[in-house]
Structure 1
Amino acid sequence: MVIKSRGVVAAMAGVAVLAAASAATATAAQTARPAGAAASCGTSIDPNTRIPSGRRHTGPTLRIAGATVKVRYGNAKQGAPYYVWAAVSGASKGDTVALEWDVDYGSWADFGVCSATVHSGSTQNTRAVKYVHGKGWHLEAQACGRHAGHRACTAYWP
């Protein structure tokens, strides 16, 4: 099919230029990210010993049967970097909790998981990973749990 109108051809060329510019901008933004920011639990901390209880906060939460799964976050002191982790309470031995995260560049290339299993008692948390962010990107995290044969995940935080 041949389009004989110059205005339509010019508009189509303009759309192609905008699409190419958008792709170049997205690629440039992705290359500016820190390498390996969220590749694994990697550089992580124990939130029970490194973050005072008064500085711990709760993000999205959900119930799986009798267990509660939640995203937790906090920092050691005012102005210090934030960390995020997953926690479960009301769980049973063998239940799991996981922090799943992605550094939000528009791809799943920087997806990571940090998990823990309940060995005794009814509560467990994962290690805490550093909340990273920059111009136009940030870490998004959700808590996932398995209890009573069911698995579910919270909404993403933040």
Structure 2
Amino acid sequence: MIRKQFIANIVGSIILFLFIIGVDANAQCLSFAKKVGKPKLGNFVHDGNYNATTLGAGETAELYKTFFKGQKYRIAVSKIDNLPEIHFRVVNEDNKTLFDNKDHDYTDVWDFSVETTQTLVVKIKVLDDYNTNELNSTNGCVCVLFGIEKNK
């Protein structure tokens, strides 16, 4: 079980690294994440990671993150205004959906806690934009930030 968790964390770290790697465009996305994404965390303490990248209509990304029992978390998803809605789901290691923002009018924030320490996957998709042709489809910054509720 510990080895499985270790492997999941390694894979998650690699995917996270690939998710946020980039040159100029991602530097702009980092600034976007700080200015637009971080305020959505409200009173939750930012975990220090700015998960940001450039995506276009129909494109997807996944983030793996370990969440600990006894903590309350917030996931905040942000996008540039020109992109279509962001569909995000949170699934466990068995691919069971724990949250789907499609069922909540595509909300961009979700507060939750877990009953056991576990690695979850945040699956993100920029919805298809059927109002534009493929040659003019928009790409833009998308960020996912995690916050932990302050102890009261």
Structure 1 length as normaliser, TM-score? 0.36
Structure 2 length as normaliser, TM-score? 0.37
Higher helix share: 2
Higher relative contact order (CA 8 A, sep 6+): 2
Greater C-alpha radius of gyration: 1
